[in-house]
Amino acid sequence: MADLAPEDVRRLAASLSLPLTGDDAAEIAHRLNAFLDALAALDALPLERVEPWPTRPEEIA
């Protein structure tokens, strides 16, 4: 489980010069932790057996 605290969110926002007011940091920390938990399922994928795919359509020949 991700463990970002509201203080971590405040520091990240400050480093990016993003305004953060009131209790927004707690809500953002909650949402970011949920998002990171959802992405954790991707860690189990066997990507070492997958060939890379071009990210731009013009690279596909």
CA pair distance 41, 36, nearest whole angstrom: 9
Convert the pLDDT of each residue in 2-55 to its tens digit. 799 999 999 999 999 999 988 899 999 999 999 999 999 998 898 888 888 878
> Which domain covers residue 15, as residue numbers?
1-19+32-38
Whether residue 26 lies inside any domain: the answer is: no
Number of separate domains in the chain: 1
| Tokens encoding 56 | 């731009």
How confident is the model at residue 61, as a pLDDT?
57
Whether residue 50 lies inside any domain: the answer is: no
| Helices 6-15 and 24-39: angle between axes, nearest 10 degrees | 100
Whether residue 13 lies inside any domain: the answer is: yes
Whether residue 5 lies inside any domain: the answer is: yes
Find out whether 45 and 17 touch, Cβ atoms under 8 Å: no
Whether residue 61 lies inside any domain: the answer is: no
Whether residue 12 lies inside any domain: the answer is: yes
Whether residue 10 lies inside any domain: the answer is: yes
Start-end of H helices in 1-61: 6-15, 24-39
Is pTM, for the whole model, over 0.75?
Answer: no
Neighbouring residues of 4: CB distance < 8 A, sequence distance ≥ 6: 29, 32, 33, 36
Whether residue 14 lies inside any domain: the answer is: yes
